[in-house]
Amino acid sequence: MPSLTIDGREVSVPKGTTVIQAAEKMGVFIPRYCYHPGLSVAGNCRICLVEVENLPKLQVACNLPVTEGMVVHTGSEQAEDGRRAVLEFLLANHPLDCPVCDQSGECDLQNFYMNFGLYDPRFREQKVKKQKAVQLGPHVMLDQERCILCSRCVRFTDEITKTGEIGIFQRGDRAKIGVYPGTELENPYSANVVDICPVGALTERAFRFKARVWYLSSAQTVCNGCSQGCNMDMHYVLDRPHLNEGARVVRVKPRYNPDVNQWWLCDEGRYGLEWIDKARLQEVRGPGDTANADTNSGKATWEQALGAISKSLAEWKAEDVGARIGVIASAKLTNEELFLIREIFRDALGAQVSAWVPEDPGTCDEFLVKADKNPNTRGATLLNLTSPDAPEAERIVDEALAGNIDLLWVFGYDLVEGFGEQKVRELGEKLKLFVYSGTNENPTQALAHWGLPSAAYVEKDGTFVNHHGRVQRIGRVFSPLGDSREDWRILLELGGLLGLQLDWRDPQEIFLGLADAETAFAGMSYGTIGDQGVEVACTKPTEGVTAPW
């Protein structure tokens, strides 16, 4: 463990650590363009120059292993001068089209110029003209003039995706990045090159000209695209609806979590969020004026809907024929909601509850994309709502068709897709009460007696358990759209109407109740989960697939 001094403070780091990593550990930020902790060291941008005592010249911090007794100055005049000169060279051929650049506002060229550049430009020559607005692939645009040739994107495609589409061509001031002839940047992780690009050379096509970055608000959340549960920051805009055609979610960026997704996010998760703002179910739909109508043609209020549903449920409960109630929950619900469903429907009403909906496995790979496209299958399993502790959804549907179930509540799952429209239409006619609660318009909702709009997962607080058994908080990004309500709120209210003793008020308290009831979650709270998540007590991977790191 060599110890060194950085800016007057001593620190001991493992052997082989570089100065930039040691400084990072101490909270000292050394400017960098080409250095990225997830990629190999290239050492070509030279912006991370630091002064090291007893060495004749400035050194690059990203490629300098620490030695015992090393004394480093990161902010000395000599180091700043060196960096300023490097920045001047990097900006020599930069087009300075910040006003029209999508990176503007989160660009390291802008940041470092304002931090320690601030020189008077001396470049009077003609700038080298290169290609602008080059389409590299389905998700990425390239502006060769803005590129500073840090080669992060090249190393990303070489080392992380191992597809190697991007390369640096030509030499000298004509050097430019591009894709190899005949190829396109279309690997499943292609948009990550935009995140790691420190300047505006690589930008997202989906975000192109949509908004300026300073209009965006950001909130931490977790991807619900598959059971990996990658951590991400959701960037949204609420006060300028003319941007982005009124949609609130503008883009997402991966959030670093060493145990889940490191710095990366797959394109499938990144661009699979349109449903949050499009074709949402926004109003309560009920049987309308005619009682016991089979379709939910009329508009209703939450009070009407929950009053009618709880009345029916109470009747069944009074007759003590609980098994005639079926609930098809979803592995897209949070642990808190699944726990409430279990408490209310299975334990208090004696219903058949399942969160086990067989689905065709989706695309998967060995890195981040998992075949199970539900974010919380593991949580449902831990709560005994999937195989082998609970019946399969198909059995509940079959029993309902056979007349053994009178009431069916479906949470978010599109039955029409799984069982065909004929069967669901039959269900609507046969069942005495058929409730659908979900986020978006779909055929099942149209055939149910009550269609309840529920909040999307970014509109509510809660936790998911990823495939590896990591409990992660999803966090609330913005408030529910229209009349929709969070599923936990619907369930709590229903529990209250049924006269159950549920003395929780919000997901945080429900989770504490859950932690008390389930050994796998014992001792956990939102405080201990934090923003990086914790592993459940007994880790038993469902698929036997572990992360490659």
What residues are paired with 418 via a beta bridge?
A: none
- Cβ burial of 481 (10 Å; 0-12, 13-18, 19+) is middle
**Considering only CA atoms, which of 396, 376, 391, 395 is closest in space to residue 462?**
376
Q: How many CB atoms lie within 10 A of CB 112?
A: 21
Centre a 10 Å sphere on the Cβ of residue 233 and count the other Cβ atoms it contains.
17
- Least separation in angstroms between residue 132's CB and other proteins is 4
One-letter amino acid of 335: N
Tokens representing 172 are 């000298």
DSSP string, 364-383: --SSS--S---TTHHHHHHT
Q: Which is nearer to other proteins, 78 or 131 (CB)?
A: 131
Segment (H or E) for 137: none
Candidates 44-52, 126-134, 476-484, 487-495 — which segment interacts with other proteins by CB under 8 A? 126-134
- Stretch of 127-135, 279-287, 317-325, 444-452 lying at the interface with other proteins (CB under 8 A): 127-135
Pairing verdict, β 231-236 and 217-222: antiparallel
Which residue number, 129 or 299, has a Cβ lying nearer to other proteins?
129
Of the candidates 131, 363, 519, 528, which one interacts with other proteins according to CB under 8 A? Answer: 131
* Distance, CA of 533 to CA of 469 (rounded, Å): 10
Closest contact distance (angstroms) between CB of 98 and other proteins is: 8
Q: Which is nearer to other proteins, 129 or 540 (CB)?
A: 129
Task: Provide the residue type at 21 as one letter.
Answer: Q
What is the closest distance, in whole angstroms, from the C-beta atom of residue 122 to other proteins in the complex?
A: 21
Residue 466 CA, distance from chain mean position: 12
How many residues sit close enough to other proteins to count as binding (CB under 8 A)?
A: 13
* Region from 129-137, 335-343, 349-357, 426-434 binding other proteins, contact rule CB under 8 A: 129-137
Locus of tokens 């080298």: 128
Within residues 133-162, the interface with other proteins by CB under 8 A covers 133
User: Given the complex with other proteins, which of 99 and 548 has the nearer CB atom?
Assistant: 99
At its nearest, how many Å lie between other proteins and the CB of residue 265? 25
Helix (H) or strand (E) holding 88: helix 77-90
The only residue of 15, 127, 132, 540 in contact with other proteins, by rule CB under 8 A = 132
- Near other proteins in 383-412, by CB under 8 A: none
Is the Cβ of residue 97 or residue 365 nearer to other proteins in the bound state?
97
Cα distance between residue 103 and residue 350, in whole Å: 56
Least distance to other proteins, CB of residue 429, Å: 43
Footprint of other proteins on 79-118 (CB under 8 A): 97, 99-100
Give dist(CA 403, CA 28) in Å, integer: 68
Nearer to other proteins, 237 or 447 (CB): 237
* Contact region with other proteins (CB under 8 A), list: 40-48, 131-139, 453-461, 515-523: 131-139
Minimum distance of other proteins from residue 143's CB (angstroms): 9
- Shortest distance in whole angstroms from residue 351 CB to other proteins: 50
Kindly write out the interface string for residues 182-221 of this chain, putting x where it contacts other proteins by CB under 8 A and - elsewhere.
Answer: --------------------------xx--x-xx------
Of 171 and 242, which CB lies nearer to other proteins in the complex structure?
242
Alpha helices for 387-486 (secondary structure H): 393-402, 415-419, 421-430, 443-447
Residues of span 474-493 touching other proteins by CB under 8 A = none
217-256 residues near other proteins, rule: CB under 8 A:
242-243
Decide if 263 contacts 426 (C-beta within 8 A).
Answer: no
Give whichever of 141 and 327 is closer to other proteins, judged by the CB atom. Answer: 141
């796998």: which residue's tokens? 520
Rounded (5°) CA angle 171-172-176: 60
In the complex, least distance from residue 106 CB atom to other proteins, rounded to whole angstroms: 15
Do the Cβ atoms of 191 and 253 come closer than 8 Å?
no
Report the nearest approach of other proteins to the CB of residue 134 (Å). 9
Residue 304: in which H helix or E strand, if any?
Answer: helix 302-319
CB atoms closer than 10 angstroms to residue 528 = 11
The residue (of 99 and 172) whose beta carbon lies closer to other proteins is 99
Closest distance to other proteins from the beta carbon of 111 (Å):
18
Residues 151 and 166: their CA atoms lie apart, in Å, by 9
- The yes or no reply on residue 127 touching other proteins (CB under 8 A) is no
**Residue 232 CB, nearest approach to other proteins (Å):** 25
Please report how close the Cβ of residue 270 comes to other proteins at its closest, in angstroms: 21
State how far the alpha carbon of 365 is from the alpha carbons of 225, 360, 371, 470, in Å: 14, 15, 8, 19
As a dihedral over the C-alpha atoms of residue 438, residue 442, residue 444, residue 445, rounded to 10 degrees, the angle is 50
Nearer to other proteins, 214 or 549 (CB): 214
Q: Which residues bind other proteins (CB under 8 A)?
A: 97, 99-100, 131-133, 208-209, 212, 214-215, 242-243
